[in-house]
Amino acid sequence: MYENEENLRPERAILCSVDTGEFDAEVSIEELRELAKTAGAEVVATVIQARPAPDAALFLGPGKLDEIKDFYQYDNIDVLIFDDELSPSQQRNIEKYTKFKVIDRTTLILDIFAQHAKSKEGKLQVELAQLQYMLPRLGGQGAELSRLGGGIGTRGPGESKLESDRRHIHRRIDAIKRELKDVEKRRNYQRTRRKKDGVQTVVIVGYTNAGKSTLMNHLTQAGVLAENKLFATLDPKSQALTLPSGREVMLIDTVGLVRRLPHNLVEAFKSTLEETASADVILNVCDASDPCSAEHLTVTRDLLLELGAGDRPTVNVMNKCDLIYNLNDVPTIGNTVYISALRGNGIEKLLRAIEDALPKDRERHTYLFPYNALKEANMVREDGKVYSEKYEDQGLLIDAECNIKYVNKLREFIHEDN
């Protein structure tokens, strides 16, 4: 968090952006400010230069970089943080030109993830993303890396790994991928097992700092860290949730999103994010008090489409509505519920909305299978969740919940509904 632990001084940063008109540069750099603060930096100034396109060599124009050097040369600036992804050559050129340490938006987000990953899986995912991102940036950076000496952008795999030869890093990447494959197999097995046992899943997604952890805690008393910071929690959590009807589902929290989430992170966390593709219901949680809430909903929806979860039943949860004067000003997309996770407002409506959105694809019945129809009984055993079995004189009595397609085939054996 600190450049020099002896001085106990946070790194002093200048945020830099080019406004090409492609997106709202002012809004984006404010988000970058929050990211920098989360990483432990003190933001001294922001610089936005309007240009048709970033400079190929220096991203900002040389004149603008001269202004930064001249104006802030006595302000003990430690780092320039750019609100975009820099090419390896741009990063090296800017560092040589300004003599400041230079990091980009992607490096900053990766650094925050490195701070907040707690589980073994989370740490592996972050390290993989960092190594894949930094591998093409190793060439010619020996001097720069030795000069940085810690601080934002150097957490995670560490200097020793970054200064190793490419072959060593490729081996490490391959090793991490193998470990994550094993994790993915276990996760897929758990999903399959949940489906077989009739456990339905509700997955929480949404923009970081929208209140997902607060909602998870309110619904399940999960004890998840809830802070007013971007990416305060990273590792996914799963907890049982009982709905008003007594129906029990598995509630799963996922990593938060931001604009232009680095592609390497999306890839590295795909096994976690893919929980959404198999979810029975998705809760798209959004901070209703944020002026950019409509864009946040769109960012999340676009990622769901990318993950193949665009067809999943979705409830848009507009959180922090206690901070809104007029709810008519809150943007909506589709099925929407207004809540305050902190105060508990609207939670009953949310629970009913979850229940209504759950697919009605399973039914529980008691079946009586004559002994000459045990093949049909095996269909129930293989697909469904069996609550009890009892051998009677007339045949096998099974109390089970299974997919509606099997129920329709087995209606002649239904003995008595629960």
- Residue 369: pLDDT band (50, 70, 90) is very high
Where is 262: in which H helix or E strand?
A: none
CA atoms within 13 A on the CB side of 35: 32
- Residue 155: pLDDT band (50, 70, 90) is low
Given this model, what pLDDT does residue 145 score?
Answer: 44
Q: Which residue has the tokens 């994790």?
A: 183
Given this model, what pLDDT does residue 10 score?
Answer: 85
Say which range, 249-263, 345-359, 361-375, has the weakest mean pLDDT. Answer: 249-263
Per residue in 317-348, pLDDT (tens digit) is: 999 998 887 777 777 777 889 999 989 899 99
Given this model, what pLDDT does residue 66 score?
Answer: 92
Closest C-alpha to 94, from 131, 65, 127: 65
Given this model, what pLDDT does residue 42 score?
Answer: 92
Q: What is the mean predicted confidence (pLDDT) over 232-248? A: 73
d(CA 233, CA 210): 12
Q: Please tell us whether the domain made up of 362-417 is placed in CATH 2.60.40.
A: no
How far is C-alpha 114 from the chain's CA centre?
14
Q: What is the mean predicted confidence (pLDDT) over 280-305? A: 85
Given this model, what pLDDT does residue 61 score?
Answer: 93
How far is C-alpha 312 from the chain's CA centre?
17
Architecture, CATH, for domain 199-357: 3-Layer(aba) Sandwich (3.40)
**What residues does CATH 3.40.50.11060 cover in the chain?**
2-117
Given this model, what pLDDT does residue 228 score?
Answer: 53
Terminal Cα distance for the chain, rounded:
59
Please state, for a pLDDT cut of 90, what percent of the chain lies above it: 25
Say which range, 113-117, 126-130, 327-331, has the weakest mean pLDDT. Answer: 327-331
Architecture, CATH, for domain 2-117: 3-Layer(aba) Sandwich (3.40)
Sign of CA dihedral 324, 330, 336, 341: negative
DSSP letters, 303-340, are HHHHTT-TTS-EEEEEE-GGG-S-GGGS---SSEEE-B
Average pLDDT, the chain: 81
**What residues does CATH 3.30.70 cover in the chain?**
362-417
d(CA 368, CA 397): 5
Instruction: Classify burial at 120, counting beta carbons within 10 Å of its beta carbon; exposed 0-12, middle 13-18, buried 19 or more.
Output: exposed
**pTM of this prediction?**
0.70
**What residues does CATH 3.40.50.300 cover in the chain?**
199-357
